[in-house]
Amino acid sequence: MEKLEPRPLPWGTRTFIMGIINLTPDSFSGDGLVGHESLVEAALQQAEVFLRDCADILDVGGESTRPGAEAVSEAEELERVIPVIEALVRNFPSVRISVDTYKANVAGKALEVGAQWVNDIWGLRADPELAGVVAAAEVPVILMHNRSAPGSTELRSRLGGRYIGLEYQDLIGEIREELMISVLLAHESGISDEHIILDPGIGFGKTVAQNLELVDRLDEIKALGYPLLVGPSRKSFIGYTLDLTPDERVEGTAAAVALSIDRGADMIRVHDVGVMSRVARMTDAIIRREEKSISKS
């Protein structure tokens, strides 16, 4: 089979599923694969399960983004990510693969070996070279809102890290404004609108209360006119709301996923692909029934 070339997804037809492949030892969710005897083999096994469970795209990341996580060097990130992407392309050549990185060199090498999307948690603000790499490759890019800052986190042993004391005068208005700054950076580098996906950054530089409000008001982010990716999976706002550890947050994640889809999410980024795929299909069956009846008439 030939390697899949980048192409837009048919947004609006259903909710798409992004499965998270964490190539880290310190993922907040407890599913980091570093430490397995063979990182590549562990990633392939996880990918096989995700694809069986109807994942549409695999998001491969080599650096933890949990609150308070230590930065990973470019060399170490490349060592984790590139062999896995190469193996995924060989074994699953028809599957979309996204590289979760904000580093231009990591993204460039990942695209060279077969990744087709770039997922940037800093919305093109962390590395000024990344936008040019994406534009040259003509691939989709996920631009995420992020106000994470050192010293603004609280860590509890059971529940993990959360952000505290982060002030917004206008939560949704400021998220919209800052996302559009990232869109402008994309445009200035030649990235077309058809390749831009927005992510409001649930859990990144937002308190528990702010995350709850953001989920409820996602339709105001969707109104910007771009496909919307939402990643509530196992996040600390669920854990602190329900007083549950990451491995106990499946029901809370399901509630956030269903509400996100109702508010306009086009894609959900999740750890529990099988369960959340069923949640998405059921939610689609409810909220998209008018669209289907109109298309048949």
Whole-angstrom distance, CA of residue 297 vs CA of residue 287: 18
Catalytic member of 269, 289, 292, 296: 269
Instruction: Name residue 231's amino acid.
Output: G
Catalytic member of 80, 235, 249, 263: 235
**Which of 233-247 are b and which e, b meaning 16 or more Cβ less than 10 Å from the residue's Cβ?**
bbbbbbbbbeebebe
Whole-angstrom distance, CA of residue 163 vs CA of residue 147: 10
Whole-angstrom distance, CA of residue 211 vs CA of residue 171: 10
CB atoms within 10 A of CB 110: 30
Residue 158 bears catalytic tag:
no
Can you give the C-alpha Rg of the chain in angstroms?
Answer: 18
Residue 249 bears catalytic tag:
no
Whole-angstrom distance, CA of residue 233 vs CA of residue 248: 11
Whole-angstrom distance, CA of residue 268 vs CA of residue 25: 23
Residue 258 near residue 296 (C-beta atoms within 8 A): no
**CA separation, residue 193 to residues 117, 179, 183, 189, 198 (Å):** 14, 13, 8, 12, 11
- Residue 45: which of 102, 103, 92 has the closest Cα? 92
Q: In what order do the strands lie in the sheet with 267-270?
A: 196-199, 141-144, 117-120, 96-100, 57-61, 16-22, 267-270, 229-230
Which residues are catalytic, by number?
235, 269
